């Protein structure tokens, strides 16, 4: 029997923020409300040990809605870096659902920009997220994705995702080809 082929690690992993790295607090502009989800520190440690860079790609429509400011989003992002170590660039979409931008997931703009900032081809990236928009954005650029469902994830998003994990660290193991 021939040996199993090794999984090629992604050139970078692009991470959704709310619901993936931290508990989803709607329109959170308060760094004190940041709560890291189980498995995230362990998964990030595995990515770092494998030399895989990361970036955070996050829709932040609360800015367009006037519910929080860009400075508040930046403060929350800085808190993530304090709690988890450097995560790479934070690339956000400040637009609302109906603004017609090209950056808001499931569009591919956030992923393309993050890959550019990391100096890697976007199709060689992988995305870890908690909803279908994360998976769709990855598919739009030919990138791999792993869905880590939460209560907000719809059943049809789970059933159509190319890969599903129960926790962030398991998603990393899938991407790195860990047994």
Kindly list the catalytic residues: 16, 18
Question: Is residue 96 within 8 Å of residue 51, measured between CB atoms?
Answer: no
How long is the chain? 179
Query: By C-alpha distance, which of 97, 92, 121, 96 is closest to 109?
Result: 92
SS3 46: helix
The runs of H, that is alpha helices, within the chain are 40-49, 70-84, 109-118, 132-141, 155-160, 168-176
């Amino acid at each position: 029997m021939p040996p199993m082929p090794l999984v090629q690690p992604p050139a970078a992993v692009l991470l959704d923020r709310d619901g993936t790295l931290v508990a989803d607090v709607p329109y959170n502009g308060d760094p004190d409300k940041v709560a890291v989800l189980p498995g995230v520190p362990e998964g990030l440690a595995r990515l770092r040990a494998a030399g895989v860079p990361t970036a955070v790609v996050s829709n932040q429509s609360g800015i367009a809605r006037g519910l929080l400011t860009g400075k508040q989003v930046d403060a929350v992002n800085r808190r993530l870096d304090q709690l988890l170590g450097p995560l790479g660039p934070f690339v956000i979409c400040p637009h609302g659902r109906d603004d017609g931008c090209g950056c808001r997931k499931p569009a591919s703009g956030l992923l393309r920009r993050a890959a550019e900032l990391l100096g890697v081809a976007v199709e060689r990236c992988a995305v870890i997220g908690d909803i279908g928009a994360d998976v769709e954005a990855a598919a739009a650029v030919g990138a791999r994705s792993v869905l880590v469902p939460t209560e907000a994830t719809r059943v049809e998003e789970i059933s159509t995702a190319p890969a599903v994990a129960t926790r962030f660290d398991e998603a990393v193991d899938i991407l790195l080809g860990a047994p």
